[in-house]
Amino acid sequence: MNNFDLKNKIAIVTGGAQGFGLDIAKKFINSGAQVRIWDNDDKELNKVIKKEDNENLRYDVVDVTDFESVNKTVKNLKNSKIDILINNAGITGPTAELWNYSVDDWNKVINVNLNGTYNCCKSIVPLMIKNNYGRIVNIASVSGKDGNANASAYSSAKAGVLGLTKSLGKELAQYNIAVNAVTPAGAKTRILNQMTKEHVQRMLSKVPRGRFLELDELSSLVCWLSSEENSFSTAAVFDISGGRSTY
């Protein structure tokens, strides 16, 4: 896989202790960036830092659903320069019909996936405006386009992320700040453990490629979107669904 030039760039990757987030963080470091991974799981973060043992990888324990937690972390950073923000933190929630979906579960899924993205953007965008530079990539989902049966909260949250991306991208178009989203199909990450086997199989059956997305396939796309080479695309949605989505 190719690397892009991210030298001297500082990146924040939410949900970075595992899965998509961790793979993106590694790709960024290999491309020359300094990365801070955010997650609410202190134990997993410590494991990652010890295993990777890389001076360009740091972490913060952050609850993205809590704006004060996010904002305090940003203000405490010694360097007031954040070049790249990857909003990756997300949960699927339970698999159930909408009328059987509990209010608490609904709110939790919306809070992590959609409100978490809003909180991080709200706190970090002013720094990007000040520096007239930034790349924001929001990890949405193909379900935000198509909708998945028995996953109404997750589908709704990810559809909201797409709307947020398009709005914020237009608001920041006058600056050298690009805001884009990617819509991956399912991948073999721990997020699949939150779903029933039947639901996972149903997801896979919709993908013409006939397989799950590989982590490095997503991280390569995100890396390009986060680089200076992406100088024009903004407020856009980049599909990486193995042919499932055709729009």
pLDDT digits (tens, 9 = 90+) for 167-200: 999 999 999 999 999 999 877 766 666 667 777 7
Q: Residues of the chain with pLDDT > 70: what percent?
A: 96
pLDDT tens, 75-112? 999 777 999 999 999 999 999 999 999 999 999 999 99
Identify the DSSP state of 110. Answer: H
Q: Decide if 131 is inside a domain.
A: yes
Residue 5 in domain: no
pLDDT bracket for residue 54 (50, 70, 90): very high
Which residues are known catalytic residues?
154
Residue at 72 is within a domain: yes
For residue 35, list its beta bridge partners: 11, 57
Listed as own residue / partner, the contacts of 72-75 with beta carbons closer than 8 Å and 24 or more positions apart are: 73/38, 74/123, 74/124, 74/127
Q: What is the pLDDT of residues 32-49, one digit of tens each?
A: 999 999 999 999 999 999
CATH of the domain at 77: 3.40.50.720
Q: Report the alpha-carbon distance of residue 82 to residue 77 in Å, rounded.
A: 9
What is the per-residue pLDDT for 203? 72
The residue type of 235 is: A
| CB contact burial 179-217 (16+ within 10 A = b; e otherwise) | bbbbbbbbbebebbeebeeebbebbbebbeeeebbebee
Residue 246 lies in a domain: no
Distance from CA of residue 243 to its chain's centroid?
21
The answer to whether position 121 is within a domain reads yes
Q: What pLDDT is attached to residue 200?
A: 72
Instruction: State the pairing for strand pair 177-184/236-240.
Output: parallel
Residue 108 forms part of a structural domain: yes
Distance between CA atoms of residues 206 and 244, nearest Å = 6
CA 242 to chain centre: 19
Query: Is 1 inside a domain boundary?
Result: no
* Cβ-based neighbours of 67, under 8 Å, separated by 6 or more: 119, 122, 123
- Residue 222 DSSP SS3: helix
137 touches 222 (CB < 8 A): yes
- Tell me how many domains the chain contains: 1
Assess if residue 247 is contained within a domain.
no
Please write down the HEC assignment for all residues of 31-66. Answer: CCCEEEEEECCHHHHHHHHHHHCCCCEEEEECCCCC
Query: Per-residue pLDDT for 53 more than 80?
Result: yes
Measure the CA–CA gap between 24 and 39, rounded to whole angstroms.
14
Over residues 122-139, the pLDDT tens digits come to 999 999 999 999 999 999
Average predicted confidence (pLDDT) for the chain: 93
Structural domain harbouring 151: 10-240
